[in-house]
A and B are shown apart, each in its own frame.
Chain A
Amino acid sequence: DIQMTQSPSSLSASVGDRVTITCRASQSISSYLNWYQQKPGKAPKLLIYAASSLQSGVPSRFSGSGSGTDFTLTISSLQPEDFATYYCQQSYSTLRDFGQGTKLEIK
């Protein structure tokens, strides 16, 4: 299976900050990479698909980039509602591996 490694595991930031989360795949997955946001007690929500495409209804402060093995999720100006856990997920192989998650907390 493909190992997905996110960094950092947790991150403290302030409202208005620019934040970047990294996801690395153990082998090339082209652009078959999605990002999800999960708030406590809720199901994950699709933010970014195909590495850089914004899901309908997702604010434009979220952006994604990368291809091959290295990917990033960037939030340009943190809003209070963005404090959550973020997961990357590969759709290259049949086994749908997720990263371990990055918890974004308020500083």
Chain B
Amino acid sequence: QVQLQESGPGLVKPSQTLSLTCTVSGGSISSGSYYWSWIRQPAGKGLEWIGRIYTSGSTNYNPSLKSRVTISVDTSKNQFSLKLSSVTAADTAVYYCARSSLVTAIWAFDYWGQGTLVTVSS
């Protein structure tokens, strides 16, 4: 059973860089054909897709965040990471990591981490 677990600081100062890591267990992050994504959810609001990295290492980002986002993978640790620069209070949210699989020719988020709250405040 695949499991994903987010980790990182719960408090980040404005203008600094938010850094989170997602550790994958129960399977190799580099095997199979999967996308590994970051998704966030401000309190009481909906879900916003941040971006993804493919098994091969190629990335795609939400255009609204692209200038500030970097997603990378460390296959030796079975982890992928998110860096979001120049954060403001608007970046305060629960951040989820998720796997998307090709399910009958359509990509769907089939495994999710439990989520981690990141607050941007001085």
Q: Which among B48, B106, B112 is the interface contact of A50 at CB below 8 angstroms?
A: B106
B interface: dominant SS? strand
Number of interface residues of B (CB under 8 A): 24
A100 touches B108 (CB 8 A): no
A100 touches B49 (CB 8 A): no
Q: A95 to chain B: which residues have CB within 8 Å?
A: 49, 60, 62-63
Q: Which among A1, A49, A89, A101 is the interface contact of B104 at CB below 8 angstroms?
A: A49
Number of interface residues of A (CB under 8 A): 25
Give CA–CA (A107, B105) in the complex, Å: 38
A interface: dominant SS? loop
Say yes or no for B80: interface residue by CB 8 A criterion. no
B108 touches A98 (CB 8 A): no
A-B contact pairs, 24 of them (CB 8 A): A31-B106, A32-B106, A34-B108, A43-B96, A43-B98, A43-B113, A43-B115, A44-B47, A44-B109, A46-B108, A50-B104, A53-B104, A55-B103, A89-B108, A91-B100, A91-B106, A94-B60, A95-B49, A96-B49, A96-B52, A96-B100, A98-B46, A98-B48, A99-B46
Q: Which 8 A/B pairs are nearest by Cβ-Cβ distance?
A: A43-B112, A96-B49, A49-B108, A98-B47, A50-B106, A91-B107, A34-B108, A100-B46
* Interface residue ranges, B against A (CB under 8 Å): 37, 46-49, 52, 60, 62-63, 96, 98, 100, 103-110, 112-115
